[in-house]
């Protein structure tokens, strides 16, 4: 495609269409000029390609491999896992005709209660950057683009659609932007996805400092910047600030504003052309026909299990693990049969198959004994979808109460108790000192049951290391008093997040960043330095093959790591070359604005705020009825994986509707809730019935889309 020639021939209507998405996951084609449509799909730990006529729910997705989520793969400290996973996901993308995968998510884990932490890598920017870059390289090596998200400072869920992240420039640059900077400079992603939230009072979708000054001019990014779904605010301001593509698009109001701004001169044609140029280059590179080669689904299932086994963390072990196979086992806990293997929200995958722990145990003919016959108890526990999901932050750091009571009851028997954890977030472990072992599988993907059995019975050796700190209690976390409480998130702790905070202030933790045990032992020599090159010799001093991670910390921060695998008695020397960093001095102060009132209702109000008025309560209930209806339908479905996934989808929809704003709801709903309807709802909620009716009767008028003109 001759991009410049295409731009010179495009009408302003075609340009306005090109910078807006369509049909939820596509770019607008320009048939007259031979510009095809590019298809995107949710990731980041597997493909969620919607079938024709899909409702953006799990039941309407094509089967794909559910790989371990980021909380799991980060704990492997092995970039090769992410590279291989990215290659496999890209193969599935090409099979289904998907041109760009929406992921990875690389936001910093600022607080353990963030409901989407399962989809992010780490509290450490270097670890997150290296692993994110490896996945980007893996996906893009197979001719599929990525969209690194969520740029930037999207570190909580409760108010993510309208929240204001208030932080100093030093905090922003030296912590929260670091993973994105590393990935842009080392892996050259096709696109970045801007976040919903504000940064110091300016929404990311129209933040020129973020999207142009830093991203493009300083870092040299030359790809496409798109919005998260429904994250656009003032569309013209966004174009001027460096935002290329609005997703999911099909919003008449945004096209109308672009056309009017070009006509009155408030939007220079050069700014619109720049966005079109970036999009056309992306489309030209990645919008290729679907690959007809079949996918080796079994190989991908096996890979998912292999990665899960490499990433699990043995947090505690007094010798109870590995099991010999001769123990008389009693198995307790709901997650034994209904293993939680993926997160809840927009990244939910329709797996090609699922191997639960029960499946893996039955394959090994493991016998389940009673609280009276056994000598060892396996307790399967962890966070379920009710407690952890995109769309809301967790209320506390505790496991479900019924699970705590179950584990306490198992301990009371006096038998050996081994806890196997599943889940995407950090939890308090009040039973830690009273159990014999804790194996954390996190969210291990569709073959996680096999990986769990391999590790428990010593067929494989745990080699994962924690990618985030596990506090003893939530009260030890900086900012715990205010996190997720209001639409204003003040980052008062600065860069002191996770291990940085604990080490500086001497806070005892349950398990530190980088912690992980093995069934073998290792010896490390002292680090040797030659300029920017650091070397260390690692020896397997135990009796089993195993993996170990060399971790290099300078001035209290992780600056390099390497994972090695050694046979008993074997030694190797790891080499880490640290990157030269220019230590720039940035402001460490920030202005904290006053919180706005919750009434009257504005287009940016949280949807739950509508309940403050009589008409608002009616409107709120009407919209939420969609989720309630979907939940009722799931209850009538026969028991099985399809029902469980449909239930998760309905629960996620409820959370998203509650936390949304009228503006973002309209921006993401397209023709099903156009701008004039959202405005009418706002007026009605404020008691302005006549104004509301006038809005309902005043749709925004725009020209037909290029694909519709072609159809004529």
SS3 call for 699: coil
pLDDT of 404 strictly over 90 = yes
Contact 204, 151 (CB under 8 A): yes
Tokens 């239930």 locate to 647
Band of the pLDDT at 639, cuts 50, 70, 90?
Answer: confident
pLDDT digits (tens, 9 = 90+) for 50-78: 886 555 554 578 999 999 999 999 999 99
Q: How far is CA 103 from the centre of its chain?
A: 7
Average pLDDT over residues 220-233: 97
Which residues neighbour 393 within 8 Å (Cβ) at sequence distance 6 or greater? Answer: 111, 113, 114, 115, 156, 157, 158, 483, 484
Average pLDDT over residues 492-500: 97
pLDDT of residue 57: 53
Maximum distance among all alpha carbons in the chain?
A: 83
Contact 536, 574 (CB under 8 A): yes
pLDDT of residue 58: 47
The tokens for 108 are 């910093």
Average pLDDT over residues 126-131: 98
At residue 425, φ and ψ (nearest 5 deg) are -135, 165
| pTM exceeds 0.95, yes or no | yes
pLDDT of residue 204: 98
Which residues neighbour 12 within 8 Å (Cβ) at sequence distance 6 or greater? Answer: 259, 262, 269, 272
pLDDT digits (tens, 9 = 90+) for 294-315: 999 999 999 999 999 999 999 9
Tokens 């099909």 locate to 250
Peptide bond into 152 cis (omega under 30): yes
β-pairing verdict for 164-166 and 557-566: unpaired
Query: Could you give all domains of the chain from N- to C-terminal order, each with its CATH number?
Result: 38-244 (3.20.20.300), 607-711 (no CATH)
pLDDT of residue 59: 55
pLDDT of 456 strictly over 60 = yes
Tokens 């505790």 locate to 398
CA-based nearest residue to 18, from 232, 273, 262? 273
pLDDT digits (tens, 9 = 90+) for 561-613: 999 999 999 999 999 999 887 778 899 988 888 888 889 999 999 999 999 99
Contact 698, 198 (CB under 8 A): no
Round the average pLDDT of the chain to a whole number and report it. 95
Q: Which residues are catalytic?
A: 228
């Amino acid at each position: 495609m001759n991009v410049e020639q295409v731009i010179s021939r495009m009408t302003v209507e075609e340009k306005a269409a090109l910078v807006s998405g369509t049909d939820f996951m596509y770019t607008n084609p320009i048939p007259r000029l031979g510009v095809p449509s590019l298809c995107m799909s949710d990731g980041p730990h597997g493909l969620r390609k919607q079938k024709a006529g899909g409702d953006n729910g799990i039941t309407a997705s094509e089967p794909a491999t559910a790989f371990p989520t980021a909380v799991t793969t980060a704990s492997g400290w092995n970039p090769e896992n992410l590279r291989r996973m990215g290659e496999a996901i890209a193969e599935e993308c090409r099979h289904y005709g998907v041109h760009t995968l929406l992921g990875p998510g690389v936001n910093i884990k600022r607080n353990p209660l963030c409901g989407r932490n399962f989809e992010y890598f780490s509290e450490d920017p270097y670890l997150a950057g290296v692993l994110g870059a490896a996945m980007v390289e893996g996906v893009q090596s197979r001719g599929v683009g990525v969209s690194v998200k969520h740029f930037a400072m999207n570190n909580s869920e409760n108010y993510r659609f309208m929240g204001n992240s208030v932080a100093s420039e030093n905090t922003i640059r030296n912590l929260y932007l670091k993973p994105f900077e590393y990935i842009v400079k080392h892996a050259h992603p096709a696109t970045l996805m801007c976040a919903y939230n504000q940064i110091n009072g300016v929404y990311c979708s129209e933040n020129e400092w973020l999207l142009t000054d830093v991203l493009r001019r300083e870092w040299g990014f030359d790809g496409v910047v798109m919005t998260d779904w429904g994250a656009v605010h003032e569309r013209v301001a966004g174009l001027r600030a460096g935002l290329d593509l609005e997703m999911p698009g099909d919003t008449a109001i945004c096209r109308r504003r672009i056309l009017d701004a070009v006509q009155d001169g408030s939007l220079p044609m050069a700014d619109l052309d720049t966005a079109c140029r970036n999009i056309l280059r992306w489309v030209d590179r990645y919008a290729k026909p679907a690959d007809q080669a079949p996918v080796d689904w079994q190989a991908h299932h096996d890979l998912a299990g292999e990665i899960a086994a490499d990433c699990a963390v043995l947090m505690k072990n007094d010798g109870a693990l590995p099991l010999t196979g001769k123990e008389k086992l009693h198995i307790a806990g709901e997650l034994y049969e209904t293993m939680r293997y993926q997160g809840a929200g927009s990244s939910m995958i329709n797996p090609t198959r699922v191997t639960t722990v029960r499946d893996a145990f039955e394959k090994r003919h493991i016998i389940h004994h009673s609280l009276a016959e056994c000598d060892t108890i396996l307790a399967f526990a962890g966070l379920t979808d009710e407690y952890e999901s995109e769309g809301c932050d967790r209320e506390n750091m505790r496991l479900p109460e019924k699970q705590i009571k179950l584990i306490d009851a198992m301990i009371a028997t006096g038998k050996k108790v081994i806890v196997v954890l599943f889940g995407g977030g950090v939890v308090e472990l009040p039973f830690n000192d009273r159990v014999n072992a804790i194996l954390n599988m996190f969210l291990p993907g569709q073959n996680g049951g096999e990986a769990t059995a391999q590790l428990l019975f010593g067929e494989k050796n745990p080699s994962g290391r924690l990618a985030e700190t596990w506090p003893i209690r939530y009260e030890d976390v900086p900012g715990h008093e205010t996190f997720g409480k209001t639409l204003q998130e003040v980052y008062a702790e600065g860069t002191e997040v996770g291990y940085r905070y604990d080490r500086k202030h001497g806070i005892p933790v349950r398990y530190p960043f980088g912690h992980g045990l093995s069934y073998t032992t290792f010896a490390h020599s002292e680090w040797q330095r030659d300029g920017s090159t650091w070397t260390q010799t690692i020896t397997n001093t135990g009796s089993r093959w195993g993996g170990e991670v060399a971790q290099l910390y300078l001035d209290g921060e992780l600056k390099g790591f390497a994972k090695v695998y050694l046979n008993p008695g074997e030694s190797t020397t790891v080499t880490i070359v640290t990157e030269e960093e220019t230590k720039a001095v940035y402001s460490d102060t920030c202005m904290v604005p006053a919180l706005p009132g919750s009434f009257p209702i504005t287009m940016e109000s949280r949807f739950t705020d509508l309940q403050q008025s009589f008409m608002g309560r009616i409107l709120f209930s009407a919209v939420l009825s969609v989720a309630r209806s979907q939940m009722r339908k799931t209850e009538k479905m026969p028991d099985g994986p399809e029902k469980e996934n449909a239930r998760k989808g309905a629960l996620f929809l409820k959370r998203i509707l509650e936390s949304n704003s009228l503006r973002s709801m309209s921006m993401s709903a397209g023709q099903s809730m156009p701008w004039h309807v959202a405005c009418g709802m706002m007026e009605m909620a404020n008691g302005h019935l006549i104004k509301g009716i006038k809005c309902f009767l005043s749709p925004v008028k725009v020209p037909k889309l290029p694909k519709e003109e072609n159809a004529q």
